[in-house]
Every structure is written in C-alpha cells, then in structure tokens.
Structure 1
Amino acid sequence: MIKNVIVRKPSKNFADGITTSNLGKPNYEKALKQHEQYIEALKKCGCNVTILDADERYPDSTFVEDVAIVTEKCAIITKPGAQSRKGEEKEIIDVLKKFYNNIEFLSGNACLDGGDILRFENHFYIGQSKRTNAEGAKQLTEILNKYGYTASTVPVKKILHLKTGIIYLKENTFIGTGEFIDNDTFKDFTVINVDSKEAYSANCILINDNVIIPKNFPNSKKALINAGYKTIEVEMSEFEKMDGGLTCLSLRIPVDNSK
C-alpha cells in the first residue's frame, strides 16, 4: 500500500528540458493544470501528497522519480544519467529524511535514473539504458541485497527508460508495449499488451487498487478494465511532449516505512 507521495511542480522553463518526442513545445500553464489533476488523482487513491516547489535550475526536475528509489526499508539517492540533470538528486535528500532514517547513495562512476527501476514484489528489475550504466546497476543491486531484496538487469534498447515500456500491476501481471511484449525476462508472467499506437499509456500506476492512466488511450483503458482494474484517467499531453510519463512525476513511498 502507498500512503505518502512526493511530487514537484513543473518549473517555468519546463519546455527547456530533454525530449525526443517531436510532439511540439509544451504549454506551461496547461502543464500546471495537468499536474494539479495528477495530484488530485493521487489523493483519490488515498495518498497524502507532499508538493515541492518548482526548481527553476532544472527544467526536468518535475520528473522526481528519477532522483530516488523508495522502498519500505530504505531510500536510495540515484545519480541521473543526463548531464543537465546532475544535481537534482541533492534536492530530494532533506525531503526524504522526513520519511526515512536510512538513506543510501550511489557513488563514483555510477549513473542511474529511477525511471529504469521496475519493482516486482521484492525483486527489482534494473533497466540498462542510455541513462543507467552497469556500475549504477551494480551499486544498486548491492544496496538492495543488503536490505533483503533481489535485483537483475534488463536491456533497454529502443526507449528512454525501462518503465516507459513496462509496468508491474499485481498478481504476476504487467502491462507492456514494444520490446517488452515478447521479452524473455517476462515470459512467465501475464503481460497486458499495449499496441504501438497507444504505447505511451503503458506507463501507468497502480496505487491502492486504482490504476492511474493517461487520458485518451481507449484501448489500453478497455484492456485494464477487462482485466478487472479500476481506472482513473489524467490528461498528460504536456508531459508526453517532454518524454515524461505518470510514474516519472512522483515518488511513491510504501506505507510500512512512512512516519
């Protein structure tokens, strides 16, 4: 269960962030409204939401998931893989101290984005992408092992982050698209297939028995409802323009370690 969630408001220079989407420049005011709707969806799921002020030094800083990994037993500060995002991770430490007594850190040549970390029960899949290197995966695995978790790596070849293409829901069921539909790593699980036209909607969030999904992806919504999930739709057009998905916008803290 998730009780506490941390988000950060989009900065005024949000449109200056990193993107490969070719969907045009995002509208800042519209992004703010969509972010507010996202927060309301989290509250509907029963979460307490800590809202951080925008950090104008970092255009991508609203994508707060990339700077930390949160579990019941510890929080881990990452080392973002993009040069323009280095330093973002330092701004989350004091916030996490409100929820954790033990915070771990990656060091040295490690690079790792939280968007590459997919949790399946007590196992963590680490996407090896352009943003997460082998050293980052190695250090994260060592930290997770120390707390009784297991981890393994998954190549990410065609998309930004692992969770851009596949998300764990519950009861051995994932939702995925593209290179992860027939991926050997997930061959023993049920994978709800998201077709290429709605690939963006593969990045959704299961929170306390509700699945928050991006709006205007009817096939994905139908597939989730048919699989027995309750859905909450949130408009995400401005964040999609910046390669950002629903998971990217929050740090979701498991209830066992919240204060």
Structure 2
Amino acid sequence: MRPPEPGLGGAVVSLIDREPVDLERAMAQWRDVREAVSAAGWEVVVVEGHEGDPPCPDGVFVGDAAVSVGGRVILTRSAVESRRPERAAIRRTLASRHVRVVPIRRPGTVDGGDLVRVGDVVYVGVGVRTNRAGLAQVTRTLEASGLEVVPVPLHKSVQLNSGVTALPCGTVLGHPPLVDDPSVFEDFVPVPERGGAHAFPLGGGAVLVAASAPGSARTIADLGYEPVLVDISEFEKREGTMTCLLAPF
C-alpha cells in the first residue's frame, strides 16, 4: 500500500466529474483499509517516497503500478504520463524485499487494474490505459507461467477492474453499466453498485467491499462470503477502487 499524498485532489479523472477531496478524511479511510487488511492476516508493506521524488497524486493507487500474478511481478507503465514517476518508489520497495520485476517497456502501456485473474485465465482490459503493445508484453510474460490471456475491449470503464472482480470460487462480480460484454465471463453475477464491482478477497471467506455498495455486499453474502465494508468515498471521487488501493503478493 502507499499512503495518499497532499496532491491527491489533482489525481486523474476520466469518466466522472471532479469533486473536492478531503485529504484528512482520505488518510483516515486509507488507514481503515490498511487495518482491515492487517486484521485479515496480511503483512502490509508501505511504499515510501524519497525526498526529491516528483509528486505522485495518484500514487495511492498502487495496484495500478505493480501486479503479482503467475509467479511474475509486472511493473506497469501508465498511459498517463504524470503517473510514470510512481514506478521509482515501487521499484525501490520491491528491490528491498528482493522481488524481481518484469517492467512494461515503451510503447506498451498497462494499468494493473486492467488485469483480472479467474483461475488459470487472466482477462486483460484493452482501452484507454492498456494498449495493444502492453497487452503483447503481458501475454508473453504470463503465458510463460502457463496462464491463458484473454483480451477484453473496454469502452464503458477506465479499467477492467472498475467494472468486474473475481471471487475465489471463480464467480465474476460485475456492475453491468460498466461491462462491455458480460458473456466473456463464464460465471458472471451482476451487482447493483459500481463500488461492488471492485471487491477484494481477504482470504478465509472474507471480502473487502466499499461502503458505497451495501446491495453488492448482500449479493456477496448470498454467495457464501463475509463482506467487510470500508468507506473509500474520497478515493472513489478520483475513480479509485478498493483493488487499486492494494497490490497483493
């Protein structure tokens, strides 16, 4: 995880109107997410910037910048130029943990939020954030790990993970207005709020869900899981999701 910076209000928005962000409240919400993850048994490693690093308004969305899948760790390259400096602190943090990365190289662009794994299949959203050159690099990396890569065209959401997420059982939750073609997924279950489309499985049957999605939490409970609701409303004002606040390994 990476704490929000004072410049969070300047983070990128693409498909929603820009609203003021309360930084103090955002910091409290970030701590609540961290607490929920720690309580579920995860070790939380915090990415820290160094003095002299450029500002990273979107840096809190660390799940966009690093993805661990199939035994490989992909260090992404954002289509948003202002987000590319985020890589430096993440690379340093991973190196300190002796984690080797596979960097996405130009002209490829990839957002971590565009990768959704369901079993041995990794769906990759191709749209404004992940381009064809980035898809090709991800495909080479993940197919070497024995995973199948399925490209998914995106027109209704910024990232694939903004509209869908996978539960451990293989069920894909999705908010229909944000999903181009639900039939791509073998077991698709619609959820009523956009906040329910980016739930995060904590392990042990618990699932972290945005507090903005109580109806989706009920759907998740009906599927046999225990929803853990946390308010991330300040991050949702910048198209942030639960899954992009976390980079699980």
Which residue of the partner structure matches residue 246 of structure 1? 242
Listed one character per residue, the Cα deviations across residues 103-136 of structure 1 (whole Å, up to 9, x for unaligned) are 2111120011101011112221110020110000
1:93 aligns with 2:88: no
- Cα distance in 1 for residues equivalent to 2:123 and 2:96: 27
Query: Are the counterparts in 1 of residues 58 and 83 from structure 2 also a CA contact under 8 Å?
Result: yes
Give the alignment partner of residue 222 of structure 1, picking from 218, 222, 235.
Answer: 218
* Structure ranking higher in strand proportion: 1
| Contact 1:11–1:56 under 8 Å retained in 2 | no
Alpha-carbon deviations, 1:47-73, whole Å to 9, x = none?
Answer: 011122367611000000111111352
Cα gap change, 1:182 to 1:110, in 2 (>3 Å): closer
> In 2, are the aligned partners of 1:74 and 1:100 still within 8 Å (CA)?
no
Query: 1:1-259, aligned counterparts within 5 Å?
Result: 7-20=1-14, 21-22=16-17, 24-53=19-48, 57-71=55-69, 73-178=71-176, 179-180=178-179, 183-186=182-185, 188-189=186-187, 191-195=188-192, 198-208=193-203, 209-253=205-249
Alignment-mate amino acid for residue 32 of structure 1: M
Q: CA deviation at 1:88?
A: 1.4
Return 5+ residue gaps in structure 2 as ranges.
Answer: none
Letter in 2 for 1:79: R
Q: How many residues of Structure 1 are paired with residues of Structure 2 in the alignment?
A: 243
- The TM-score, its normalising length taken from structure 1, stands at 0.88
Point out 4+ residue stretches in structure 1 off by more than 6 angstroms: none
Alpha-carbon distance in 1 for matches of 2:64, 2:20: 22
- Paired with 1:156 and 1:112, the residues of 2 have a C-alpha distance of 13
CA pair 37-61 structure 1, distance change in 2 beyond 3 A: same
Distance, in Å, in 2 between the alignment partners of 1:219 and 1:57 is: 37
How much has 1:102 moved relative to structure 2?
A: 3.2
- Is the 1:80–1:89 Cα contact (8 Å) retained in structure 2? no
Tell me the secondary structure at the aligned position of residue 138 of structure 2: helix
Aligned to 1:3: none
Change beyond 3 A, Cα 1:146–1:222: same
Match of 2:110, SS state, is coil
CA distance 1:149–1:233, shift in 2 (3 Å): same
Comparing both chains, which one has the higher relative contact order based on Cα–Cα distances under 8 Å and sequence gaps of 6 or more? 1
Alignment TM-score, normalising by the size of structure 2: 0.92
The one-letter code matched in structure 1 to 2:208 is I
SS at match of 1:184: helix
Alignment gaps of 5+ in structure 1 = 1-6, 254-259
Cα shift at 1:99: 4.2
CA RMSD of aligned residues (A): 1.7
C-alpha displacement at 1:244, in angstroms? 0.2
Deviation at 1:23, TM superposition (A): 5.7
CA deviation string 1:156-192 (max 9, x = no partner): 1111100000000022211101253852211x21x22
User: Contact 1:75–1:100 at 8 Å: present in 2 too?
Assistant: no
